[in-house]
Amino acid sequence: MTGDPVEVGNPAFVTARIALGLKTQQDFVDAFEDHAQEIGVRVGISIRQVRRWESPTPGCPNRDARKVLVSMFSCPEERRSAQRILEDLGFVPLCRPPGRRPGMPRSTTPPLYCPPEVGLALPDRPDRLLPHLRAALDDAGRTDSVLGPRAALPQALAIVSSVERAAREASGSARRDLLVLGARAAEFTAWLHRDSEAGPAPTAFWHDRAIELATMAGEGQLHGYVLLRKAQAADGDPARMRDLARAAHAGPWSLPPRPRAEALQHEARALALTGVRGKAIDRLLEEAREAVEAAPPPTGPATCTGPLGEGYTLERLMVQSALCYREAGRPARSVDLFGRYLATGRFAPRDRAFFTAAMSGALVATGEPDRAADVALAALEIAAGAGFGQALAELHRTKAALLPHSRRPAVRQLLSALREVRPAARR
């Protein structure tokens, strides 16, 4: 299909494209690549990318694509800045993280994109601000669980910015409450960057910002909770993951039972990733289970502003334990736990996609490539549309393990489907 979709989420871009005489998305792809070659920029795009730019959430193009777009749509008579051109095309502007100072090396402050206005109208009365922002953060959490991180990121960034502005003027308990909310929002923003595959730098930036805010609020438990989230994001560095998880549950604070259980589980997984086998992992997972079972019942649905770790249920612990056993070389145990608890537990679409994708990898290790491919396709159906980055990364891990079985029909079907969504996973 080379024409435009019936519904247009970014009419500014469509109007500008047609004004250049480029009636279809394929026309634009061809013109873009020709222009890139003319100005010496090595970058290409696909119709899929153009569709995203014309969607309700176009995001912001990468640096090379921005150069081409600015050159294509610039008009010498108007003398618009590059940023103004991009904004006029419907892209969100470059947003500077809080605390960025002129001249600070760019490597320390990763580029983040957020619109200055995302429908986050603030109340006139100061006493209504905190409840309003809490509700907005919970709403962003629900958006992420269903529609994916890119849909939730603009609102999360706007909430952090609003909280920090308000905290500068507040005092006493009002300021403390705003700082706590800011820490929760910054931690959530870190997760959104990680799941949207923005890379480790922006994720680390927002985790560090969350720790700053929690420390300024005097909230030791929240500080430990963010360390737990930093451990979760450090799965590429098992030794660091182990140390962060241990610091989260053994630091100079007392984590509530549910996040304590999750920290113990992350330490167990880190040990498995470093090559530890046997009783050390079982002991940590058993301690985690005891913590979950000793926790008071949830007060309601888990939210971004509710009690720390409220959504960490026994079912979630058991599917995360399945991840540990997979990394520890016990795939049969892993498949058994995934099968039992994915069927009985309540998981948001994002979480179900990730754990189902992880189960497919364990099935490959047990010598069941056809079943692994079927399970992976089920995960892909959930993950692809919303762009759940962690699930998609896990599916590409499964793909690599299935390559020796690529002649099997089920595996061929999975490989073909993954080729279709690969650009979406990397954008």
Domain locations in the chain as residue ranges: 11-94, 107-218
pLDDT mean over 379-384: 92
pLDDT mean over 408-421: 91
Neighbour count for residue 202 (Cβ, 10 Å): 20
User: Which of the residue ranges 60-64, 108-112, 323-327 would you say has the lowest mean pLDDT?
Assistant: 108-112
**Burial of 14 from C-beta contacts in 10 A (0-12 / 13-18 / 19+):** buried
Per-residue pLDDT band at 79 (split at 50, 70, 90): low
In terms of pLDDT, which residue wins out, 187 or 120?
Answer: 187
Q: Is the pLDDT of residue 218 over 60?
A: yes
- Per-residue model confidence (pLDDT) at position 234: 92
pLDDT mean over 146-156: 87
Cα-based torsion angle of the residue sequence 348, 350, 352, 358 in order, rounded to the nearest 10 degrees? -160
Per-residue pLDDT band at 182 (split at 50, 70, 90): very high
- Per-residue model confidence (pLDDT) at position 175: 94
**Burial of 276 from C-beta contacts in 10 A (0-12 / 13-18 / 19+):** middle
- Per-residue model confidence (pLDDT) at position 78: 60
- Per-residue model confidence (pLDDT) at position 367: 97
End-to-end CA distance of the chain: 21
Hunting for tokens 């996609």 — which residue is that?
353
Per-residue pLDDT band at 3 (split at 50, 70, 90): very low
In terms of pLDDT, which residue wins out, 65 or 90?
Answer: 65
Q: Is the pLDDT of residue 190 over 90?
A: yes
The Cα–Cα gap between 25 and 113 comes to 24
- Per-residue model confidence (pLDDT) at position 92: 61
Percent of the chain residues past pLDDT 70, beyond the cut? 88
- Per-residue model confidence (pLDDT) at position 420: 80
pLDDT mean over 368-373: 97
pLDDT mean over 277-282: 91
Neighbour count for residue 102 (Cβ, 10 Å): 5
Q: Is the pLDDT of residue 400 over 70?
A: yes
Per-residue pLDDT band at 76 (split at 50, 70, 90): low
Joined together, the tokens standing for residue 121 give 């109208």
Joined together, the tokens standing for residue 349 give 């679409």
Segment 298-354, tens digit of pLDDT: 888 889 999 999 999 999 999 999 999 999 999 999 999 999 999 887 888 889 999
